């Protein structure tokens, strides 16, 4: 090695250190006693940097393996498009070095690798179905991913302190309601697969506003509950060994319940209703620490779901398919039969423990293999091992979110962090649980993986908000241990 | 707040553990059961994407796969398709496979457990999987002779080797070309299939082992004779009253001998003559004396009410339950609700030829891995003893008499002693008869057992009879194989 190259290497090392430091004042080498040791911020970002490299390598490898498995050759065009996304992800990473230095280092790499695996699988199904160019769902997914990541960067820059959101609690509630009503507006709303949850003009630029609404709802619930938790915590009569809330405080629960039920009835979307209601119940429980709210809420929802399964055909079909998917009657019923569910199970079974390998299975035999059923497609080609890895990634993602709840200083931030993390966990449970027959199948997107622009935008904004929250947590060393 | 958070985290953890368990149940515990579901088209596609092994007759392929450039990767082709259709069956790109393509799919597609190490080896070395080849027992000469002899009749011919149960020929007509079911176009296959289903000649039926089950008529008298001799109460010389008409007990229905009149003249007739001349009245009387249980026991010893796997599934022949005397009398000459397949009647003849032992019928000789190591070799196996050796000897002589100077005279072959029995079964009052012949040759050293079925009276309605149409077919096939 010549002297010159050694010099340039050390110079570049120096540059990285400077960027990582971001001009913060030096911290003491050993933390004062009584204060948790805080990792140096550039270390967090550097860890994130290397994890992102790993994530991007996995994603590129997935796309190349899909091409080798399904095409038998490497096509550089899509690899380049994917590389473009990596640049954007690193853009988010560099933004954080400036405006969220102490943010959690795991969230971004996990979201990146899940997003990338989703694109690889969608691309794989494009190949099976012969779609290319702008017909290709993978190309559209990459475009939406770019938009979503840009939205996340914007969120990180615009919302410098999450407490700003607390001020807009009721605005967030109003936005959520408007977003939910939009698909029902004549001329704007569109129905697909029976569910009235899309908006758009013609075939272009369709959007599922309910995905964004879940963020607005989390903000609203967090703000509202922090403001009103005292009255909601008041206990009334004791019944069946449990103290139940006062009758006059039942209003909010009943309103959210009614909202969920109207989603079931008018938008014909069981999964979304369950998602919103579950989110509310968990946040209500964390805010008030009253288990009776959960009991009450779950009973209400179950009652509603049972009535719906008796009166609404589509709900009844979902339940019947769940209970007896293999009966010929259910399998051959069209519409509303169990064909998709059973095909998904066949696909998963075909994958077995280690999967068929990228491009080697037949996930395209299952209807909508790239959106609602992407987890079955991944299960077929990556096997049980792949499913475990993906679920572990989600679990880690959710755990990082809960960590904010545990470590946060302000109740609003804690509640919001828990709410956003739980909504991802619940959504994964509803989708994967539906595919694997834990619960009746309902149409929801698998976060980050499934084809769909609105879902990507919403989940990347959740990433940005969680990053922002985690940055705040670490930025303020905790002196008081528990509240 | 943190106590609640901890609980919520536990709930989230439980949700994820549930998903881990549910996916394990599907992808590991239930995976094999799901793969075996007949609606699982993935299993079918998997079996397509390997080079399926050939099905061979005397070393020549009657079914083989050739590489193609399309989605399915291999084209299945049937040489001499219509001739071998009831043996090979077909494996379509959509829907279910039939014949050996179905029953030996695991071997042909290389998925059987005995090929596990071969699969592993190929997986590691990166070679494409190849299925095993199946050598069938079918004798080319016998199969072609049976095809030619049956001509344009609707029916079936089965030839077996009495000592081993090997099926040497299995022909059914009308038939179809299995190549039409393996084109790589699902809609075309579906259209072809629906066309074949709607065809009034029912070409998809394998009349040798099932299809529209026919009454056996007089060939069933062999079973009743066997039951009588086995009971120890009768010999070929036992006599029965010989009226020209017989009124069934408890009814006004009248049974007549074919051709009318008494059985060969005289006030009484022996069992031997009744079988030789194929008279109905003595057998009606014998049936009532024996009772339906004795006849059913004997029938079941010959293989009735049992599904033989050859290894393709077959339709069991049936002897009805709970008969009164009138119904028992009808059943004793193969009418009423008795139903039999040519394969079953071939088993009856073969058992008589094989000293009374029924051998399990079998289409397959050997299954060989692509590297020529044998995976399965089929050995002759006994289904059970139907009759004693002495009863068998007696019945061989009675059947030889039937051909030499009895109702089965058209099966006579110069220089060879043939044992046989004809049948002419009624279907409905005005429906054409079902014509039968079953027998074996040479009678002193049985090499071939044969059963011929001709439906629709051979085109002659109620004018056709077994000795006129079925016996000459058997004769032609036997001559061909004996002169080989």
* DSSP one-letter code for B436: E
E strand map for B125-234: 133-136, 155-160, 167-173
SS3 B39: coil
Q: How far is A274 from chain B, CA to nearest CA, in Å? A: 14
Interface membership of A425 toward B (CB under 8 Å): yes
Q: Are A367 and A343 in contact (CB under 8 A)?
A: yes
Residue A180 pLDDT: 87
* Strand pairing report for B55-57 and B133-136: parallel
Between chain A and chain B, the number of residue pairs with CB atoms below 8 A apart is 124
Residue B124 pLDDT: 62
Residue A17 pLDDT: 37
Q: Across the strands, what pairs with A131?
A: none
| Angle subtended at Cα A344 by Cα A339 and Cα A346, rounded to the nearest 5 degrees | 95
List of residues 6+ apart from B78 with CB closer than 8 A: B62, B63, B84, B85, B88, B90, B177, B178, B179, B182
Interface test with A, best of B6, B19, B126 (most A CBs within 10 A): B19
Put residue B99 in one of left, alpha, beta given phi > 0 → left and psi -120 to 50 → alpha: left
The tokens 């998997």 sit on which residue?
B46
**Distance from C-alpha of B304 to C-alpha of A279, rounded to nearest angstrom:** 66
Q: How far is B38 from chain A, CA to nearest CA, in Å? A: 11
Burial (CB count within 10 angstroms: exposed 0-12, middle 13-18, buried 19+), residue B459 = middle
Interface test with A, best of B4, B18, B26 (most A CBs within 10 A): B26
**Distance from C-alpha of A341 to C-alpha of A329, rounded to nearest angstrom:** 14
From chain B, the residues in CB contact with A436 under 8 A are: 19, 22-23, 25-26
Contact at CB, A438 and B13, closer than 8 angstroms: no
From chain B, the residues in CB contact with A362 under 8 A are: 42, 45
Residue B120 pLDDT: 67
pLDDT tens figures, A428-459:
999 999 999 999 988 788 999 998 889 999 99
What are the backbone dihedrals phi and psi of residue B76, each rounded to the nearest 5 degrees, phi first? -90, 130
Residue A7 pLDDT: 40
For residue B37, the chain A residue with the least C-alpha distance is: A346
Residue A442 pLDDT: 85
Contact at CB, B27 and A429, closer than 8 angstroms: no
Interface membership of A286 toward B (CB under 8 Å): yes
Q: What is the DSSP string of B322-335?
A: S--HHHHHHHTTT-
CB < 8 Å from A in window 17-36 of B: 18-20, 22-28, 30-32, 34-35
For residue A405, give the nearest of B5, B19, B41 by CB distance: B5
* Strand pairing report for B133-136 and B254-255: unpaired
CB atoms within 10 A of CB A286: 25
Residue A14 pLDDT: 37
**Distance from C-alpha of B353 to C-alpha of A448, rounded to nearest angstrom:** 74
Half-sphere exposure of B193 (CA within 13 A, CB side): 19
What's the Cα-to-Cα distance from A270 to each of A115, A319, A444, B462, rounded to whole Å?
Answer: 25, 11, 9, 67
* Top-confidence residue, B203 or B37: B203
Residue A477 pLDDT: 54
**Distance from C-alpha of A48 to C-alpha of B307, rounded to nearest angstrom:** 67
The three state secondary structure string of chain A is: CCHHHHHHHHHHHHHHHHHHHCCCCCCCCCCCCCCCCCCCHHHHHHHHHHHHHHHHHHHHHHHHHHHHHHHCCCCHHHHHHHHHHHHHHHHHHHHHHHHCCCCCCCHHHHHHHHHHHHHHHHHHHHHHHCCCHHHCHHHHHHHHHHHHHHHHHHHHHHCCCCHHHHHCHHHHHHHHHHHHHHHHCCCCEEEECCEEEEEEECCEEEECHHHHHHHHHHHHHHHHHHHHHHHHHCEEEEECCEEEECHHHCHHHHHHHHHHHHHHHHCCCHHHHHHHHHHHHHHHHHHHCCHHHHHHHHHHHHHHHHHHHHHCHHHHHHHHHHHCCCCHHHHHCCCCCCHHHHHHHHHHHHHCCCCCCCCCCCHHHCCCCCCCCHHHHHHHHHHHHHHHHHHHHHHHHHHHHHHHHHHCCCHHHHHHHHHHHHHHHHHHHHHHHHHCCCCCCCCCCCCCCCCCHHHHHHHHHHHHHHHHHHHHHHHCCCCCCCC
What's the Cα-to-Cα distance from A289 to each of A229, A231, A301, B5, rounded to whole Å?
Answer: 9, 12, 20, 9
Going by C-alpha positions, the residue among B141, B139, B140 that lies closest to residue B166 is B139
* DSSP one-letter code for B411: G
Structure confidence at residue B428 as a pLDDT band (50, 70, 90)? confident
pLDDT tens track of chain A, all 483 residues? 344 444 444 433 333 333 333 334 444 445 445 455 454 557 888 999 999 999 999 999 999 999 888 887 888 888 888 899 999 999 999 999 989 888 999 999 999 999 999 999 999 998 888 777 777 888 889 999 999 999 999 999 999 888 899 999 999 999 999 998 888 877 777 776 667 777 765 555 567 888 899 999 999 999 999 998 888 877 666 776 667 777 777 888 888 899 888 888 888 888 889 999 999 999 999 998 888 888 989 999 999 988 988 888 888 888 899 999 988 888 888 778 889 999 999 999 988 888 888 888 888 888 888 888 999 999 999 999 999 999 999 999 999 999 988 888 889 999 999 999 999 999 999 999 999 999 998 878 899 999 888 999 999 999 999 999 999 887 665 554 444
Residue A204 pLDDT: 52
The tokens 């109207």 sit on which residue?
A262
From chain B, the residues in CB contact with A406 under 8 A are: 2, 5
pLDDT tens figures, B203-241:
999 999 998 899 999 999 999 999 999 999 999 999 999
**Distance from C-alpha of B119 to C-alpha of B115, rounded to nearest angstrom:** 6
Evaluate whether the domain defined by B217-365+382-482 bears CATH number 3.40.710.10: yes
Q: Which ipTM score applies to this complex?
A: 0.87
Q: Across the strands, what pairs with B77?
A: B64
The tokens 């066309």 sit on which residue?
B195
List of residues 6+ apart from A61 with CB closer than 8 A: none
* Top-confidence residue, A428 or B35: A428
Contact at CB, B20 and A425, closer than 8 angstroms: no
CB < 8 Å from B in window 368-407 of A: 379, 383-384, 387-388, 391, 394-395, 398-399, 402, 405-406
Q: Are B237 and B209 in contact (CB under 8 A)?
A: no
**Distance from C-alpha of A388 to C-alpha of A347, rounded to nearest angstrom:** 16
CB < 8 Å from B in window 333-372 of A: 342, 345-353, 361-362, 365
**Distance from C-alpha of B215 to C-alpha of B329, rounded to nearest angstrom:** 14
Out of B104-118, B297-311, B340-354, B390-404, pick the least confident. B104-118
Catalytic residue status for B238: no
Out of B122-136, B295-309, B353-367, pick the least confident. B122-136
Check pLDDT > 70 for residue B407: yes
Q: Please pick, among B47, B103, B218, B349, the residue that the annotation labels catalytic.
A: B218
pLDDT tens figures, B251-302:
888 999 987 889 888 899 999 999 999 999 999 999 999 999 999 999 999 9
Structure confidence at residue B185 as a pLDDT band (50, 70, 90)? confident
Interface membership of A432 toward B (CB under 8 Å): yes
The tokens 């060393």 sit on which residue?
A477
């Amino acid at each position: 090695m010549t002297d010159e190259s050694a010099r340039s290497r050390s110079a570049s090392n120096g540059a990285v250190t400077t960027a990582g430091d971001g001009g913060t004042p030096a911290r003491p080498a050993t933390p004062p006693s009584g204060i948790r040791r805080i990792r140096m911020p550039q270390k967090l970002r550097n860890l994130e940097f290397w994890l992102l490299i790993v994530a991007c390598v996995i994603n590129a490898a997935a796309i190349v393996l899909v091409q080798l498995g399904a095409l038998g050759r490497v096509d550089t065009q899509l690899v380049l498009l994917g590389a473009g996304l990596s640049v954007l992800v690193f853009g988010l990473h560099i933004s954080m070095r400036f405006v969220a230095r102490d943010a959690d280092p795991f969230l971004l790499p996990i979201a990146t690798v899940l997003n990338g695996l989703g694109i690889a699988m969608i691309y794989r199904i494009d190949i099976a179905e012969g779609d290319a160019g702008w017909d290709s769902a993978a190309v559209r997914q990459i475009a939406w991913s770019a938009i979503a990541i840009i939205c996340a960067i914007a969120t990180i820059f615009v919302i410098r302190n999450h407490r700003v959101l607390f001020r807009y609690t009721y605005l967030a509630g109003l936005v959520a309601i408007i977003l939910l009503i939009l698909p029902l507006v004549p001329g704007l709303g569109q129905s697909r697969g029976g569910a009235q949850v899309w908006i758009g003009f013609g075939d272009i630029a369709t959007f599922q506003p309910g995905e964004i609404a879940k963020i607005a709802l989390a903000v609203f619930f967090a703000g509202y509950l922090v403001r009103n938790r005292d009255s909601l915590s008041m206990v009334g009569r004791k019944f069946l060994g449990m103290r139940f809330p006062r009758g006059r405080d039942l209003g909010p629960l009943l309103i959210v319940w009614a909202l969920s039920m109207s989603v079931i009835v008018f938008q014909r979307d069981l999964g979304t209703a369950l998602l919103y209601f579950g989110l509310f119940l968990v946040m209500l429980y964390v805010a008030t620490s009253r288990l009776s709210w959960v009991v009450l809420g779950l009973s209400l929802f179950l009652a509603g779901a049972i009535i719906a399964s008796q009166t609404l055909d589509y709900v009844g079909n979902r339940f019947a398919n769940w209970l007896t998917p293999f009966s010929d009657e259910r399998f051959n019923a069209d519409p509303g039969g169990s064909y998709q569910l059973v095909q998904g199970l066949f696909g998963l079974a075909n994958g077995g423990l280690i999967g068929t390998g990228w491009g080697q299975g037949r996930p395209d035999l299952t209807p909508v293999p790239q959106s609602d059923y992407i987890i079955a497609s991944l299960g077929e080609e990556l096997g049980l091992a792949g499913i475990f890895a993906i679920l572990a990634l989600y679990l880690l993602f959710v755990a990082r979110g809960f960590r904010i709840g545990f470590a946060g200083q302000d109740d609003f931030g804690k509640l919001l962090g828990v709410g956003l993390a739980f909504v991802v966990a619940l959504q994964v449970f509803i989708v994967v649980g539906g595919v694997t027959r834990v619960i009746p199948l309902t149409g929801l997107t698998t976060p980050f993986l499934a084809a769909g622009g609105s879902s990507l935008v919403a989940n990347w904004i959740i990433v940005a908000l969680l990053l922002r929250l985690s940055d705040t947590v670490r930025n303020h060393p905790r002196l008081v241990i528990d509240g | 707040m943190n106590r609640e958070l901890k609980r919520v985290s536990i709930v989230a953890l439980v949700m994820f553990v549930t998903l881990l368990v549910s996916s394990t149940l599907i992808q590991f515990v239930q995976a094999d059961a799901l793969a075996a579901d007949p609606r699982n088209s993935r299993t079918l596609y998997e079996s397509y994407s390997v080079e399926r092994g050939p099905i061979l007759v005397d070393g020549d392929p009657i079914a083989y796969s050739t590489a193609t450039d399309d989605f399915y990767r291999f084209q299945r082709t049937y040489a001499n398709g219509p001739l071998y259709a009831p043996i090979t069956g077909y494996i379509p790109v959509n829907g279910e496979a039939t014949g050996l393509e179905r029953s030996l799919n695991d071997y042909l597609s290389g998925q059987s457990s005995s090929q596990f190490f071969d699969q592993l080896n190929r997986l590691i070395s990166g070679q494409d999987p190849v299925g095993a080849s199946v050598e069938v027992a079918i004798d080319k000469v016998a199969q072609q002779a049976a095809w030619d002899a049956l001509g344009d009749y609707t029916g079936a011919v089965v030839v077996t080797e009495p000592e081993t149960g090997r099926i040497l020929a299995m022909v059914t007509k009308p038939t179809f070309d299995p190549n039409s079911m393996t084109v790589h176009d699902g809609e075309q296959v579906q259209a072809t299939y629906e066309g074949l289903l709607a065809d009034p000649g029912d070409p998809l039926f394998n009349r040798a082992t099932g299809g529209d089950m026919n009454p056996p008529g007089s060939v069933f008298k062999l079973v009743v004779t066997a039951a009588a001799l086995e009971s120890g109460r009768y010999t070929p010389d036992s006599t029965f009253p010989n009226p020209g008409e017989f009124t069934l007990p408890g009814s006004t229905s009248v049974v007549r001998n074919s051709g009318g009149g008494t059985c060969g003249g005289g006030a009484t007739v022996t069992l031997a003559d009744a079988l030789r001349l194929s008279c109905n009245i003595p057998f009606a009387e014998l049936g009532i004396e024996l009772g339906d249980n004795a006849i059913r026991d004997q029938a079941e010893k010959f293989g009735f009410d049992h599904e033989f796997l050859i290894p393709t599934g077959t339709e069991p022949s049936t002897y009805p339950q709970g008969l009164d005397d009138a119904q028992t009398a009808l059943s004793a000459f193969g009418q009423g609700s008795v139903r039999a397949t040519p394969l079953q009647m071939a088993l009856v003849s073969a058992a008589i030829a094989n000293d009374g032992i029924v051998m399990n019928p079998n289409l397959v000789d050997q299954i060989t891995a692509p590297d020529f190591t044998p995976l399965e070799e089929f050995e002759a196996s006994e289904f059970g003893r139907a009759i004693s050796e002495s009863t068998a000897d007696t019945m061989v002589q009675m059947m030889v008499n039937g051909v030499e100077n009895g109702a089965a005279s058209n099966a006579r072959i110069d220089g060879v002693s043939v044992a046989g029995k004809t049948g002419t079964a009624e279907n409905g009052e005005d429906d054409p008869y079902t014509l039968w012949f079953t027998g074996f040759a040479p009678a002193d050293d049985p090499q071939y057992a044969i059963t011929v079925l001709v439906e629709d009276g051979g085109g002659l309605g109620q004018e056709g009879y077994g000795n006129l149409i079925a016996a000459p077919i058997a004769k032609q096939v036997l001559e061909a194989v004996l002169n080989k």
